[in-house]
Amino acid sequence: MTVTVQVLVPPLQLATGATTQYTVPSGTRTIIDKASVTNTDSVNRSFSVNLVTAVDSPGNQNLIIDDRVVVPGETYLCPELIGQAMTPGSYISTTASAATALTLRITGREVT
C-alpha cells in the first residue's frame, strides 16, 4: 500500500453551476485532510459541497455542506470534509452563489 499526500484541488475560484473539482482515480482511495474556502469578494457569498459516489449525481443524498455563507475576507476551513473517505470514481462537486468570489483548496491522501 502506498500513501501519497496530494493537493486534490489546487486553489481555484468556484463556479455557480455544479462543478466536479476532483475525481478519485481508478484503484485509489482518497482521504480529505484539509479544505478551505476564502471569500475574496466584498459581500457575503455561499457555497455547497457534495461528495458523490461513482454511480450517483449531486443531490440531497450526498450533500455535505449546504449553502454555507462566508463573509468577506473569511476563510472557512470546512470541518465537514475532514477525514471523509472516498472510493474510486467518486468525486467532489461544488456550487457557489457567485462566480469568481470564493477560492477553494483541498488537500488529502491518495492510497493505492
The pLDDT tens digits for 72-109 are: 999 999 999 999 999 999 999 999 999 989 999 999 99
Beta strands in 14-98 (DSSP E): 19-23, 29-39, 45-52, 63-70, 75-76, 85-86, 91-96
What is the number of domains present in the chain?
A: 1
In this structure, what CATH number is given to the domain that contains residue 52? 2.60.120.340
pTM for the predicted model, two decimal places: 0.95
Provide the residue range defining the domain that includes 90. 3-111
The pLDDT tens digits for 14-62 are: 999 999 999 999 999 999 999 999 999 999 999 999 999 999 999 999 9
